[in-house]
Amino acid sequence: MVEAIERKMKGIILAGGSGSRLLPLTKITNKHLLPVYDKPMIYYPIRTLKKMGLIDILIVSGRHHAGHLLELLGRGEEMGVRFSYTLQEKAGGIAEALSLAEDYSEGDNVAVILGDNIFEDSFSKSVKDFNYGAEIFLKEVPNAQRFGVAELRGSQVIGIEEKPEIPKTNYAVTGLYLYDSKVFGIIKTLKPSRRNELEITGVNNAYIKDSKVTARFVRGFWSDAGTFESLNNSAEFVQKNQDKFKF
């Protein structure tokens, strides 16, 4: 049984966004409610956080389908966790969504996961070892240009480039991050990107600039389940490995 870690670190699931890459599936529902084999998509990041020992979890959602998430998940008692909820009024980027968790965090460290990310690995040791700075999780992929891509010097991350046309490596930055409480101050210094959003890559590069980033490499399956292909691949993997995705 994973020992619950309270106060020291809180979990945050970012489940907003329009899900435009999955239209028309997302025309009348939140992307994170779509099925990945036998469970709604959002169950998988919940599972990841719970296996990390985190039971206090904030869900950040867009306005249009927040009620559906609340109806599905409730207060979390059935899953052995405690959910809180907040709304991202408009699409302003991942970092902007994270900024809404500042009051909830109460100065604790935070584990942040994107609501469409599905991990086979367990990261409980990373939580136990984490004290300050930031920790990111990298996965070697064949289509790195879809993601934030880490530039490495040995095993050290020296920079991250968002969706480069010509990636410097094949190591994608996955949608799981550990941050100390300074992350919220960093977000306040960010300027909107060309997409007019506050990018999480900007947050990570700020920590890199201060030499306060640790990188871990994801060994098992990972997918962001945000496209038709990755959604299908995720469902197929879960179907073949159901024992690895039990709560």
Pick 193 or 44 by higher pLDDT.
44
Closest to 110 (Cα-Cα) out of 219, 10, 185, 26:
10
Across 22-108, the runs of DSSP E, i.e. the strands, are 35-36, 39-40, 56-62, 82-88
Q: Kindly state the percentage of the chain with pLDDT values over 90.
A: 77
Is the pLDDT at 11 greater than 80? The verdict is yes
| Residue 241, number of CB atoms within 10 A of its CB | 13
pLDDT digits (tens, 9 = 90+) for 147-190: 999 998 877 899 999 999 999 999 999 999 999 999 999 999 99
Q: Which domains does the chain have, with CATH numbers?
A: 9-132+174-190+221-245 (3.90.550.10)
Looking at every residue in the chain, the average pLDDT score rounds to: 91
Task: Decide if pLDDT at 114 tops 90.
Answer: yes
| Confidence check: pLDDT of 5 > 70 | no
E strand or H helix that includes residue 241: none
